[in-house]
Structure 1
Amino acid sequence: MNVAYWILASLLALFYLYGGGVKLVRSRDRLRPMMAWVDSTPMPAVRAIGLIEVLGAIGLVLPPLTGIAPWLAPAAAIGFVVLQIGATVVHLRLGDRRIALNIALVAAAAVTVWPATTWL
Protein backbone atom coordinates (compact mmCIF):
# COMPACT_ATOMS: atom_id res chain seq x y z
CA MET A 1 0.00 0.00 0.00
CA ASN A 2 2.80 2.42 0.87
CA VAL A 3 4.64 1.67 -2.36
CA ALA A 4 1.50 2.37 -4.39
CA TYR A 5 0.98 5.64 -2.55
CA TRP A 6 4.54 6.83 -3.03
CA ILE A 7 4.54 6.01 -6.74
CA LEU A 8 1.25 7.82 -7.37
CA ALA A 9 1.94 10.69 -4.99
CA SER A 10 5.42 11.26 -6.40
CA LEU A 11 4.16 11.37 -9.98
CA LEU A 12 1.30 13.70 -9.07
CA ALA A 13 3.58 15.91 -6.97
CA LEU A 14 6.11 16.24 -9.80
CA PHE A 15 3.38 17.07 -12.30
CA TYR A 16 1.74 19.67 -10.07
CA LEU A 17 5.02 21.20 -8.87
CA TYR A 18 5.98 21.81 -12.48
CA GLY A 19 2.55 22.91 -13.68
CA GLY A 20 1.91 25.09 -10.67
CA GLY A 21 5.38 26.59 -10.75
CA VAL A 22 4.97 27.51 -14.40
CA LYS A 23 1.65 29.22 -13.66
CA LEU A 24 3.30 31.17 -10.84
CA VAL A 25 6.25 32.55 -12.78
CA ARG A 26 5.43 32.74 -16.50
CA SER A 27 3.61 35.53 -18.27
CA ARG A 28 0.31 35.05 -20.06
CA ASP A 29 2.12 35.07 -23.42
CA ARG A 30 4.45 32.28 -22.33
CA LEU A 31 1.58 30.23 -20.87
CA ARG A 32 -0.71 30.55 -23.90
CA PRO A 33 0.97 27.87 -26.09
CA MET A 34 0.49 25.28 -23.33
CA MET A 35 -2.73 26.54 -21.78
CA ALA A 36 -5.17 28.31 -24.09
CA TRP A 37 -7.58 28.88 -21.19
CA VAL A 38 -5.32 31.60 -19.73
CA ASP A 39 -6.77 34.09 -22.24
CA SER A 40 -10.18 33.81 -20.60
CA THR A 41 -8.89 33.78 -17.02
CA PRO A 42 -7.56 36.75 -15.03
CA MET A 43 -3.85 36.39 -14.23
CA PRO A 44 -4.42 36.58 -10.45
CA ALA A 45 -6.66 33.52 -10.79
CA VAL A 46 -4.00 31.71 -12.88
CA ARG A 47 -1.41 32.53 -10.21
CA ALA A 48 -3.78 31.33 -7.46
CA ILE A 49 -4.31 28.03 -9.29
CA GLY A 50 -0.54 27.66 -9.58
CA LEU A 51 -0.10 28.29 -5.87
CA ILE A 52 -2.82 25.77 -5.03
CA GLU A 53 -1.11 23.19 -7.23
CA VAL A 54 2.30 23.74 -5.61
CA LEU A 55 0.85 23.62 -2.08
CA GLY A 56 -1.13 20.48 -2.95
CA ALA A 57 2.01 18.79 -4.27
CA ILE A 58 3.78 19.60 -1.02
CA GLY A 59 0.74 18.32 0.88
CA LEU A 60 0.94 14.95 -0.85
CA VAL A 61 4.56 14.38 0.10
CA LEU A 62 5.64 16.31 3.18
CA PRO A 63 3.04 15.24 5.80
CA PRO A 64 3.56 11.50 5.29
CA LEU A 65 7.34 11.99 5.36
CA THR A 66 7.34 14.03 8.56
CA GLY A 67 4.31 12.56 10.33
CA ILE A 68 3.08 16.12 10.96
CA ALA A 69 -0.57 16.71 10.00
CA PRO A 70 -0.89 13.46 8.02
CA TRP A 71 -4.53 14.31 7.23
CA LEU A 72 -3.17 16.76 4.66
CA ALA A 73 -2.17 13.95 2.28
CA PRO A 74 -5.71 12.67 1.58
CA ALA A 75 -6.98 16.27 1.66
CA ALA A 76 -4.47 17.21 -1.05
CA ALA A 77 -5.45 14.20 -3.16
CA ILE A 78 -9.15 15.07 -2.83
CA GLY A 79 -8.30 18.68 -3.69
CA PHE A 80 -6.62 17.54 -6.90
CA VAL A 81 -9.70 15.51 -7.84
CA VAL A 82 -11.85 18.62 -7.39
CA LEU A 83 -9.30 20.80 -9.23
CA GLN A 84 -9.22 18.51 -12.26
CA ILE A 85 -12.98 18.16 -12.40
CA GLY A 86 -13.10 21.95 -12.54
CA ALA A 87 -10.35 22.01 -15.17
CA THR A 88 -12.29 19.51 -17.28
CA VAL A 89 -15.40 21.69 -17.08
CA VAL A 90 -13.39 24.76 -18.14
CA HIS A 91 -11.87 22.91 -21.11
CA LEU A 92 -15.24 21.63 -22.27
CA ARG A 93 -16.89 25.02 -21.80
CA LEU A 94 -14.20 26.61 -23.99
CA GLY A 95 -14.76 23.98 -26.69
CA ASP A 96 -11.51 22.11 -26.01
CA ARG A 97 -12.26 18.40 -26.22
CA ARG A 98 -8.71 17.31 -25.36
CA ILE A 99 -9.41 16.26 -21.79
CA ALA A 100 -7.62 12.89 -21.65
CA LEU A 101 -4.91 14.30 -19.37
CA ASN A 102 -7.53 15.80 -17.06
CA ILE A 103 -9.36 12.47 -16.83
CA ALA A 104 -6.08 10.63 -16.14
CA LEU A 105 -5.21 13.13 -13.38
CA VAL A 106 -8.67 12.76 -11.81
CA ALA A 107 -8.23 8.99 -11.79
CA ALA A 108 -4.69 9.13 -10.38
CA ALA A 109 -5.67 11.57 -7.64
CA ALA A 110 -8.79 9.55 -6.80
CA VAL A 111 -6.77 6.35 -6.51
CA THR A 112 -4.23 8.18 -4.32
CA VAL A 113 -6.87 9.14 -1.75
CA TRP A 114 -7.28 5.64 -0.38
CA PRO A 115 -3.61 4.78 0.31
CA ALA A 116 -3.12 8.31 1.66
CA THR A 117 -5.42 7.42 4.55
CA THR A 118 -2.88 4.90 5.90
CA TRP A 119 -1.19 7.74 7.83
CA LEU A 120 -4.36 8.80 9.66
Structure 2
Amino acid sequence: MEKIAFVFSHAPHGTSFGKEGLDVILGVSSIIKKISLFFIGDGVLQILKHSKSENILARNYTSSFRILSIYDIKNFYCCKSSLIDRGLYSHNQFILKVNILNSYFFRIKLDDHDAIINF
Protein backbone atom coordinates (compact mmCIF):
# COMPACT_ATOMS: atom_id res chain seq x y z
CA MET A 1 0.00 0.00 0.00
CA GLU A 2 1.32 3.36 -0.95
CA LYS A 3 -1.44 5.81 0.02
CA ILE A 4 -3.85 5.53 2.92
CA ALA A 5 -6.85 7.76 3.59
CA PHE A 6 -8.23 8.08 7.09
CA VAL A 7 -11.81 9.33 7.12
CA PHE A 8 -13.21 10.92 10.26
CA SER A 9 -17.01 10.93 10.20
CA HIS A 10 -17.90 10.96 13.90
CA ALA A 11 -18.02 13.77 16.45
CA PRO A 12 -15.00 13.97 18.74
CA HIS A 13 -16.82 13.08 21.95
CA GLY A 14 -19.39 10.43 22.71
CA THR A 15 -17.39 7.68 21.03
CA SER A 16 -13.71 6.76 20.96
CA PHE A 17 -13.49 6.68 17.15
CA GLY A 18 -11.58 9.94 16.83
CA LYS A 19 -8.99 9.16 19.49
CA GLU A 20 -8.51 5.64 18.16
CA GLY A 21 -8.12 6.99 14.63
CA LEU A 22 -5.46 9.43 15.75
CA ASP A 23 -3.60 6.65 17.57
CA VAL A 24 -3.67 4.44 14.47
CA ILE A 25 -2.40 7.27 12.27
CA LEU A 26 0.55 7.89 14.58
CA GLY A 27 1.40 4.19 14.56
CA VAL A 28 1.03 3.70 10.81
CA SER A 29 2.98 6.85 9.95
CA SER A 30 6.27 5.10 10.66
CA ILE A 31 5.52 2.57 7.91
CA ILE A 32 3.38 4.45 5.38
CA LYS A 33 4.56 7.86 4.22
CA LYS A 34 1.59 8.96 2.11
CA ILE A 35 -1.23 9.54 4.55
CA SER A 36 -4.21 11.84 4.09
CA LEU A 37 -6.98 12.74 6.51
CA PHE A 38 -10.53 13.42 5.39
CA PHE A 39 -13.22 15.00 7.57
CA ILE A 40 -16.87 14.57 6.63
CA GLY A 41 -20.17 14.76 8.48
CA ASP A 42 -19.71 15.24 12.22
CA GLY A 43 -16.04 14.40 11.70
CA VAL A 44 -15.40 18.05 10.81
CA LEU A 45 -15.92 18.81 14.51
CA GLN A 46 -12.71 16.87 15.29
CA ILE A 47 -10.54 19.78 14.16
CA LEU A 48 -12.29 22.82 15.63
CA LYS A 49 -9.91 25.20 17.41
CA HIS A 50 -12.11 26.13 20.32
CA SER A 51 -13.40 22.78 21.48
CA LYS A 52 -14.59 22.95 25.08
CA SER A 53 -14.48 19.31 26.10
CA GLU A 54 -14.04 20.21 29.76
CA ASN A 55 -17.71 21.23 29.79
CA ILE A 56 -18.64 17.56 29.33
CA LEU A 57 -15.81 16.30 31.56
CA ALA A 58 -13.91 14.78 28.65
CA ARG A 59 -10.22 14.96 27.77
CA ASN A 60 -9.54 17.16 24.75
CA TYR A 61 -7.44 14.88 22.56
CA THR A 62 -8.34 16.84 19.41
CA SER A 63 -5.50 19.30 20.00
CA SER A 64 -3.19 16.33 19.34
CA PHE A 65 -4.03 16.59 15.64
CA ARG A 66 -1.52 19.46 15.57
CA ILE A 67 1.41 17.09 16.01
CA LEU A 68 0.71 15.35 12.71
CA SER A 69 2.98 17.80 10.90
CA ILE A 70 5.90 16.38 12.91
CA TYR A 71 5.09 13.03 11.28
CA ASP A 72 5.14 14.73 7.86
CA ILE A 73 1.37 14.37 7.43
CA LYS A 74 0.13 17.44 5.64
CA ASN A 75 -2.85 16.38 3.50
CA PHE A 76 -6.08 17.36 5.24
CA TYR A 77 -9.42 17.63 3.46
CA CYS A 78 -12.86 18.75 4.64
CA CYS A 79 -16.18 18.32 2.93
CA LYS A 80 -17.62 21.76 2.21
CA SER A 81 -21.26 20.71 2.56
CA SER A 82 -20.52 19.14 5.97
CA LEU A 83 -19.06 22.45 7.12
CA ILE A 84 -22.01 24.44 5.80
CA ASP A 85 -24.51 22.06 7.43
CA ARG A 86 -22.85 22.76 10.79
CA GLY A 87 -22.53 26.52 10.32
CA LEU A 88 -18.75 26.45 9.92
CA TYR A 89 -17.64 28.87 7.23
CA SER A 90 -14.20 30.20 8.15
CA HIS A 91 -10.81 28.57 7.50
CA ASN A 92 -9.39 29.97 10.73
CA GLN A 93 -11.75 27.88 12.90
CA PHE A 94 -9.60 24.78 12.52
CA ILE A 95 -6.46 23.51 14.24
CA LEU A 96 -5.16 22.17 10.91
CA LYS A 97 -4.68 23.83 7.57
CA VAL A 98 -7.43 22.02 5.68
CA ASN A 99 -8.35 21.98 2.02
CA ILE A 100 -12.09 22.50 1.76
CA LEU A 101 -13.54 20.59 -1.18
CA ASN A 102 -17.02 20.20 -2.57
CA SER A 103 -18.46 16.68 -2.52
CA TYR A 104 -17.31 15.82 -6.03
CA PHE A 105 -13.65 16.77 -5.55
CA PHE A 106 -13.68 15.30 -2.03
CA ARG A 107 -14.62 11.94 -3.56
CA ILE A 108 -12.03 12.28 -6.34
CA LYS A 109 -9.27 12.87 -3.76
CA LEU A 110 -10.50 9.97 -1.65
CA ASP A 111 -10.56 7.61 -4.64
CA ASP A 112 -6.88 8.38 -5.27
CA HIS A 113 -5.88 6.29 -2.23
CA ASP A 114 -5.07 2.58 -2.07
CA ALA A 115 -6.86 2.03 1.25
CA ILE A 116 -9.58 3.93 3.09
CA ILE A 117 -10.03 3.54 6.84
CA ASN A 118 -13.06 5.10 8.50
CA PHE A 119 -13.23 6.36 12.08
Coarse TM-score class (shorter-chain normalised):
under 0.3
Q: TM-score, normalised by structure 2?
A: 0.25
Which one scores higher on RCO, CA 8 angstroms, separation ≥ 6?
2
Q: TM-score, normalised by structure 1?
A: 0.25
**Greater Rg by CA:** 1
